[in-house]
Structure 1
Amino acid sequence: MTVQSVLDEVRERPGSGEVIPVIDPATEEQITEFKDAGPEAVDEAVAAAKATAASGVWSGMPDYSRAKVLWRVADLIDENADVLSELESLNAGIPRSQAKVITAVGSEWFRYYAGWCTKVDGIARSVNTGGLTGIESHMHAYTLREPYDVVGLIFPWNGPIFNYCAKLAPALAAGCSTVVKPAEETPLSALVLDRILSEAGVPDGVANLVNGFGHTAGAAITAHPDVDKVAFTGSTEVGREIVHASASSNLNKVTLELGGKSPVLIFDDANLDLAIATAAFGCFLHSGQVCMLGSRIFVQRSIYERVVDGIATVANNLQLGGPDEEGSMIGPLISQKQLTRVMGYLEQGRAEGVELVTGGHRLDRKGYFVHPTVATKIDPSTSRLFKEEIFGPIVTVLPFDDEDEAITLANDTEYGLAGTIWTESLGRAHRVAKRLKAGTVGLNCQLQFDHSMPFGGFKQSGWGYEAGKAGIDTYLQSKTVWAQM
């Protein structure tokens, strides 16, 4: 399997809809194209998944056998890591070193959830109860944990390998049959992973890959009457549309991992060298195109100027470039559409009187590159830069005077995905962590992740959790059985 063979295969995949170009964001050149699969292809994929669910070819497989298949998937991802990471770099514009890390994390999703295949169980109790009749009886009651039949998995263009594996591994471990739709901007690695599943022994019809636009293929999945559950990662706006589709269709269950506008709180007793370096990396990684990045930094007033200068210095020293450019640390935005969006926010910021300490411009070269930008002198009550998820290399930095003000500013958002606290005070660290409205909080660290720990958001950052036991629970239903003794 080579990069060129994958590009050719994408182009040859059947479809009935519009031709969709796949653009290299570092060069703005088309690298391949494919046809939108169309609603008919979604119907076929759902029918195939429904048939395998009914037959039990996957859900009825012995747990240890399903675990072996998932472990084999992980091994094959590792064996094809070079091609996968090269495709990820080419398609998403990220440095090759980062793509290799993401690919390695992807294979571990399957190893982790292979272990869960043999550990899904319910509870059992002997109960003396009158039930609703009032006649006391000796009952044996137990619960079964059963997979949803057909699950739609829709994931975004930032980190496609990571998101593909994060959803598919627990869904397969639970015994679900699936319909998988990657983002139209980044379809390449999903095609390789689709081949890997077949080679590893996942039966035909259990994991069905459908390529297309969100408003065509994605919408058809979310509204399909035979899809029992949808798991989606992407914007809050699209998340709302999926909820509406569920309400209008069959009330299928929905898991949503949505937007973020995560706060970073730096107190005056923090290790500033570490805090500045980590906070800068934690807002500019992947050109700011990661949902849990710390895009709002709040700094205690006595150290405010030092932190602003420090983050601006890091921003100015970050080398932007394509995946194959020597020394490249940050890649481009994903598309012309995203570039236009980000530049629009910068123009709006200037109109609001925001001070751009550094950055605020597109690089004078091919590719969708925007210089990392540090924004200050912001009115948090009105500024769109402060309030809205931009998904670009822009960070706002505001001062605070005391702990209460810092928490008020941090929680002043519709999102609640992540947060970070920098302080040497153990008491303050845990006190503030409890008060932050966020699903993940880092104490003197940022962007930490492990497959065993649940990840999800508060408020409009989502419904439900991925990773850990919670990650497989989201693909299982509970059934209670009562037996008269």
Structure 2
Amino acid sequence: MEKKSLEYWQNLAASLHIEGRAFIDGEYRDAASGNTFDCVNPSDGTLLAKIADSGEADVNAAVAAARHAFETRVWAGLNPRKRKSILLRWAGLIRAHMDELALLETLDAGKPISDTTSVDVPGAAYCVEWFAEAIDKVGGEVVPSDHHLVGLVTREPIGVVAAVVPWNFPILMASWKFAPALAAGNSVVLKPSEKSPLAAIRLGQLALEAGIPAGVFNVVPGAGGPGKLLALHEDVDCLAFTGSTNVGKLIMQYAGQSNLKRVWLELGGKSPNIVMADCADLDRAANSAAGAIFYNMGEMCTAGSRLLVQREIKDKFLDKVVAAARAYKPGNPLDPVTSMGAIIDEVQLERVLGYIEAGRKEAKLLLGGERVDQASGGYYIEPTIFDITSSDAKIAREEIFGPVLSVITFDTAEEAVRIANDSDYGLGAAVWTSDLTTAHEMSRSLRAGTVWVNCYDEGGDMNFPFGGYKQSGNGRDKSLHALEKYTELKSTLVRLR
């Protein structure tokens, strides 16, 4: 792909029309209250747009539109091949508007334009394509029942699906929810994070242009309120959430207080990245370890924020990691050469700086630790690495969601697994070793939804399910397993005689 210049992106940004209204029942609407909230560019602190602050009336309207669309079967009633063709058209429109959507993501979330054009937007289009292609190939079962019966097991769409998604990968994480939900025949109400709502709002019009009927795909931005309203709503059948563990716990409570809607949660992580002394390629492991925590400014639920290094190679390996980390230099996200953008907002900036301050008191600072480029008005933090003397340190246990790496030393594989599993979370883990037995045995022992061996955070392929153990959540995004979240199983027994 041709890499466009900083000037190109600046000119496109200057001419960009930003839509800030909710998308409900096939049209853009202001919030019923008239309230708005500010959408701020984290790279310079300037106002991008005023966004509709959806309240109870707006959420009710979106859910009612989704329910009406589902009950009248304008989408659920289409045969799978027809839904497939419309979703493929939508994916094509996402690709056709690649630059616009990538720019919205970069301006909105501070992500480098080189990432939004290569990962976020094409990844979302691929996700829609994948589930579109899958849905006319997924069948049911004929049960080996008694001879006087024909027994069928089928899957049906669950109904109205609410998707509440995070700010770190706004369009990509959203697609992991709405693509399988729509492919299965559901109607969707999408609540983007108030910190990064722009691309989701734009998707509404593209969905309508693709042929998705009005009411089937709705977007309700809001400064926090719509998520709780959807979780408590009696007419929402399922809620899929990606975000913090604390909010996930509240959503489960809200579901119990209302209609016992299905709740699927992809939550936090404190993922261990284990490097054994017999690792065959320390340079690759070091580069990967830096990328695992500093890519996307460390704002990743799978971030390899705990680097476990075997004692024999610690000093040599840390020198390589520090050198690799220096390549991640915070800068203007619109510049294609920028490898590290801005922290999402001032609140998150202060949170990360608070953890760094705590780290200074309980660990040895090896690199970074400062806010940089304040003159720009943006929220930038340089890559930060701590050498931890105890795995009980606050920065080694709590999810920071920023570019802060904790290095922990271990002696044996058993000790590494014990430290790795000593966490409330279980989203991702990695092992670097040249020993096949060690790789298999440690992978089996690690309590995580994804384990990488001699790599980290690879697997953009939609065939791999994604989710976590323990307080990292339940259910899985991606793969055919995701369809299980958005469908109900039905047993049908037909008596022949």
Report the TM-score, using the length of structure 2 for normalisation: 0.93
Matched with 1:245 is 254
Q: Equivalents in 1 of 2:223, 2:72: separation in Å?
A: 31
Q: What does 1:189-228 align with in structure 2 at a 5 Å threshold?
A: 189-214=199-224, 216-228=225-237
| Counterpart among 175, 197, 210 of residue 165 in structure 1 | 175
Say whether residues 1:185 and 2:195 are aligned partners. yes
Cα offset, 1:468, TM superposition: 0.8
Q: Equivalents in 2 of 1:422, 1:106: separation in Å?
A: 30
Q: Equivalents in 2 of 1:17, 1:298: separation in Å?
A: 51
| Counterpart among 65, 69, 77 of residue 60 in structure 1 | 77
Q: Equivalents in 2 of 1:17, 1:251: separation in Å?
A: 32
Matched with 1:374 is 385
Cα offset, 1:403, TM superposition: 0.6
Q: Equivalents in 1 of 2:157, 2:488: separation in Å?
A: 6
Q: Equivalents in 2 of 1:272, 1:48: separation in Å?
A: 55
Cα offset, 1:74, TM superposition: 0.8
Say whether residues 1:433 and 2:443 are aligned partners. yes
Matched with 1:85 is 102
Say whether residues 1:43 and 2:28 are aligned partners. no
Partners of 1:120 and 1:145 within 8 A in 2: no
Q: Equivalents in 1 of 2:425, 2:491: separation in Å?
A: 36
Cα deviation digits, residues 99-148 of structure 1 (max 9, x gap): 012111110111101112212322112422xxxxxxxx822211121001
Q: Equivalents in 2 of 1:82, 1:471: separation in Å?
A: 29
Tell me the amino acid that sits aligned with residue 59 of structure 2: V
Q: Equivalents in 2 of 1:367, 1:377: separation in Å?
A: 30
Residue 204 of structure 1 aligns to a residue whose secondary structure is coil
Partners of 2:69 and 2:75 within 8 A in 1: yes
Matched with 2:483 is 472
Say whether residues 1:121 and 2:139 are aligned partners. yes
Partners of 1:319 and 1:327 within 8 A in 2: no
Tell me the amino acid that sits aligned with residue 273 of structure 2: V
Q: What does 1:307-322 align with in structure 2 at a 5 Å threshold?
A: 307-322=317-332
- Classify 1:233/1:8 alpha carbon distance in 2 versus 1 (closer, same or farther; 3 Å): closer
Q: Equivalents in 2 of 1:8, 1:480: separation in Å?
A: 45
Tell me the amino acid that sits aligned with residue 186 of structure 1: S
Tell me the amino acid that sits aligned with residue 14 of structure 1: D
Partners of 2:278 and 2:433 within 8 A in 1: yes
Residue 143 of structure 1 aligns to a residue whose secondary structure is strand
Q: What does 1:334-349 align with in structure 2 at a 5 Å threshold?
A: 334-349=344-359
| Counterpart among 14, 21, 31 of residue 38 in structure 2 | 21
Q: Equivalents in 2 of 1:138, 1:338: separation in Å?
A: 63
Cα offset, 1:152, TM superposition: 0.3
- Classify 1:17/1:433 alpha carbon distance in 2 versus 1 (closer, same or farther; 3 Å): farther
Q: Equivalents in 1 of 2:408, 2:41: separation in Å?
A: 35
Matched with 1:291 is 301
Partners of 1:296 and 1:397 within 8 A in 2: yes
Matched with 2:474 is 463
Cα offset, 1:326, TM superposition: 5.7
Residue 481 of structure 1 aligns to a residue whose secondary structure is strand
Cα offset, 1:269, TM superposition: 1.1
Q: Equivalents in 1 of 2:333, 2:268: separation in Å?
A: 26
Matched with 2:4 is none
Q: Equivalents in 2 of 1:389, 1:17: separation in Å?
A: 36
- Classify 1:164/1:6 alpha carbon distance in 2 versus 1 (closer, same or farther; 3 Å): farther
Matched with 1:112 is 130
Residue 463 of structure 1 aligns to a residue whose secondary structure is coil
Q: Structure 1 stretches of 5 or more lacking a match?
A: 129-136
Cα offset, 1:19, TM superposition: 2.6
Q: Equivalents in 2 of 1:79, 1:61: separation in Å?
A: 25
Matched with 1:133 is none
Q: Equivalents in 2 of 1:227, 1:304: separation in Å?
A: 51
Tell me the amino acid that sits aligned with residue 119 of structure 1: K
Residue 173 of structure 2 aligns to a residue whose secondary structure is helix
Cα deviation digits, residues 364-419 of structure 1 (max 9, x gap): 423111111101133212x1101100000001001110110010011110000001
Matched with 2:341 is 331
Partners of 1:10 and 1:188 within 8 A in 2: no
Tell me the amino acid that sits aligned with residue 39 of structure 2: V
Q: Equivalents in 2 of 1:483, 1:8: separation in Å?
A: 52
* 4+ residue segments displaced more than 3 Å: 2-6, 8-13
Tell me the amino acid that sits aligned with residue 348 of structure 1: A
Cα offset, 1:5, TM superposition: 5.1
